[in-house]
Homo-oligomer: A and B are copies of this chain.
Amino acid sequence: MLARLLNKDGTLNIKPKGISIFKQKDFHYSIVTTNWLNFFLVITGFFFVINVLFTIVYLLLGSNEIAGIIHDDKVGYFWEVFFFSAQTITTVAYGRISPVGVAASSVAAIESMMGLILFAFATGLTYSRFSRPKTKINYSKIMLVGPYQNGLALMVRVVNYKKNQLVDLSAEIILTVNILVDGKRTRFFYDLPLEQQGMGMMMMSWTIVHKISDESPLNGLTQEDLEDSDAEILVIIKGSDDILLQNVFSRTSFRASKLVWNAQFINIDEFDEVGNLQIDISKMSDYIIIPSK
């Protein structure tokens, strides 16, 4: 069996080959997607290194350039200069220690300028991490093939239970199969047209439906056919978060083994005693088997 093309979380499971690992890297991407611990270690480490470099410069300039140092032993002197540097880069500058010579003053001016820009830059990175959209679309665990308008349809249910509304949505379902062509496994992609390709606003849940018409690539295929060809069904959703005004891109994929035949999603709408509509998220993947005629 072949590996899946798209992981459950929507990341691509295809590896590039014949290209340097360095060209694949993108610093902006890495810093935005790494975990928070790594992120803070990188940021802190970076400032520590800059700080040490400036400390070395001040040490080389000599003690006449800096006023206010009270520890005259070697270690104490080092720490005084180190923290003078730290207080300069953060611009906190208590002022007990200050540069007096032209050389140290120049270096300190440069360090404080760098500090201002680098800290604002670090903040920009932090904020852009923070404001990245969190996953808001939840997919049913399975895909169904079941009765629909005197025929069959492929169905998947998606739900957003966050308060941020998803608006201006559109979906795409793609069937991909691997078939032997001249003895070599070759990928084919088929776009499966949807009954409703988009919607202005998601009413918390959405059942995306591909009607298996005579023209559908799925027409006449069985579970065995799909498994034999390592079929994978990709679901791609695009929308906007109406509060944070961000685009939302979401993807997942279902392997043939996640298909349930002759089934229908159960209705998860409920009206409470005062007539409010409630949607039971915990049952979003629940279905009933419909005996085929």
Contact = CB atoms under 8 A, between A and B. Distances in A.
A244 interface: yes
A148 interface: no
Contact of A276 (B3, B112, B282): B3
Interface string A78-102: 0100010011101111111111101
A279 B15 contact: yes
A187 B269 contact: yes
B17 A204 contact: no
A161 B280 contact: no
A83 B105 contact: yes
A127 to B, nearest CB: 4
A204 B14 contact: yes
Number of copies: 4
B15 A277 contact: yes
A67 to B, nearest CB: 7
Interface in A253-293: 267, 269-271, 274-283
A278 B16 CA distance: 6
Contact of A247 (B23, B184, B240): B240
Contacts of A220: none
Given A44-B113, A174-B200, A184-B267, 12 more contacts: A14-B277, A16-B161, A17-B270, A28-B130, A83-B106, A83-B108, A86-B109, A92-B93, A186-B267, A187-B203, A245-B246, A245-B247
Interface of A: 1-3, 5, 11-19, 23-26, 28-30, 32-33, 44, 47, 67-68, 70, 79, 83, 86-88, 90-100, 102, 105-106, 108-109, 112-113, 115-117, 119-124, 126-128, 130-134, 161-165, 167-168, 172, 174, 184-187, 189, 200-201, 203-204, 234, 236, 238, 240, 242-247, 249, 251, 267, 269-271, 274-283
